[in-house]
Structure 1
Amino acid sequence: MSKNPGAEVVDGRRLRSERSRLAIVEAALALQEEGVLVPTAQQISDRAGVGIRSFFRHFEDMETLFEAADDQIRGSYEALFLGGDREGTLAERIDHAVDRHADAYESVSNIVLGTHALLWRYEILRKNYARNQRGLRKDLDDWLPELKAAPREQREAIYAISSFEMWHRLRYHQGLSKKSSSSIVKNLLKSQIAGDPRMVPDASAE
């Protein structure tokens, strides 16, 4: 017989509460991944199998839910951009970087689009989006340290070419395949960099 049945009741309630909270977060993410870019509290509650009142006991508003969702998946989506083969010539590293980013953008597309749709409304999304943009720039600088020699306008052009927004335009608005979109981004980056001798190794010095 338990020495403290009251504690077991409290622990049981806490576990149920934690499971409900997790179910709500996972439901919101699943809906976005399926194309419901801006799910409502009711849609999320229905998907999670909890009542709407339970939803608002866990999250006082949608912004706190989005913050919790980002906390849960941040490590997984950041990992999509990390790693990869970062050795080789400049052209090879451009190819590797674009391929890595293309796979990542395909994976997080609906989550990013849902964020875009609500940036005007929620400060936490603007904060998280700005943090992610800084991370993407830093990661591209790691792929291509030659960027340090480029003037600001050229670096900004390269960041824009490498962005999710560029990728989404090619894939969605222009209806291009993943392969064609990757080829366009690679060629644009190479043409930007090739035009600046400060970023291209001097073959005569080898």
Structure 2
Amino acid sequence: MANVSHKMASRSQAPLADGRRERSRSSRGKIVAAMLDLVSKGDVSPSAARVAEVAGVGLRSVFRHFDDMDELYREMGEVIEAQVMPIILQAPAGADWKERLFDIADKRSKVFETILPYRISASLKRFQSPYLMQDYRRMLRLEFETLEAHLPATVKVDLAGTRGLHVILSFQTWRLLRHDQELPVEEAKAVVRRLLGNALAAMPDN
């Protein structure tokens, strides 16, 4: 009889545990969504209290799910990276390396525009956060390596020219045009393509 009672109690507790886990996942999702929403709307350094307010949860709930704001930034970064990584990893189109660089430029404009507010937000924090600094350098390496993979050896020997290509196709250039100079997307893309075309004109075709 005792075994039967124990089994019945276990069954009754299982739905409660499942419900708690589901509420926990829901609260965590709301917190991350609130962080993403605030940053996308221009609050580049939202406080935990503001995140809790927008998420509709208590401030304690934020730190129950996330040890600190650094962990929340990490999860925000993972969400954004999942959105843009398929574009980053897509092979560029083009009959030769110069055409492929123009395709990379167009793809990066989409990626950079998507990550713009979040990258600016993380940039404000990365000098105080080893994780954000490490993630920043990881993304720089990825940008560098994906571009280097499409440069012929005759171009790579021109270190100044190669570095110039990296600058033209960098997030920093996109941020300067979109954020600092406040250019519309299409005008920013036109500037990048003009700079890229001018740089490629002085380089060998293969």
Number of the residue aligned with 1:118: 125
Number of the residue aligned with 1:6: 13
CA–CA separation in structure 1 for the residues paired with 2:23 and 2:122: 29
Number of the residue aligned with 2:36: 29
- 2:175 aligned with 1:168: yes
Number of the residue aligned with 1:108: 115
Report how many residues are paired: 198
Deviations 1:176-201 (A, max 9, x none): 3333322222232233333243xx23
CA 1:68–1:176: 2 relative to 1, 3 Å? closer
CA 1:172–1:65: 2 relative to 1, 3 Å? closer
Q: Residue 177 of structure 1: which of 174, 184, 187 is its match?
A: 184
CA–CA separation in structure 2 for the residues paired with 1:64 and 1:172: 26
TM-score normalised per structure 1? 0.85
Identity %: 28
Q: CA deviation at 1:113?
A: 0.9
CA 1:61–1:147: 2 relative to 1, 3 Å? farther
CA–CA separation in structure 2 for the residues paired with 1:37 and 1:147: 41
Moved more, 154-163 or 86-95: 86-95
- 2:144 aligned with 1:145: no
Number of the residue aligned with 1:96: 103
Question: 3-state DSSP class of the match of 2:128?
Answer: coil
CA 1:164–1:22: 2 relative to 1, 3 Å? same
Flag as ranges the 4+ runs of structure 1 deviating above 3 A. none
Q: CA deviation at 1:13?
A: 0.9
Q: CA deviation at 1:134?
A: 1.1
CA 1:88–1:8: 2 relative to 1, 3 Å? same
CA 1:148–1:50: 2 relative to 1, 3 Å? farther
Q: CA deviation at 1:52?
A: 0.4
Unaligned runs of 5+ in 1: 202-206
Question: 3-state DSSP class of the match of 1:120?
Answer: helix
> What letter matches 1:82 in structure 2?
L
Number of the residue aligned with 2:58: 51
Q: CA deviation at 1:4?
A: 1.0
Question: 3-state DSSP class of the match of 2:44?
Answer: coil
Give the structure with higher Rg (CA). 2
Number of the residue aligned with 1:63: 70
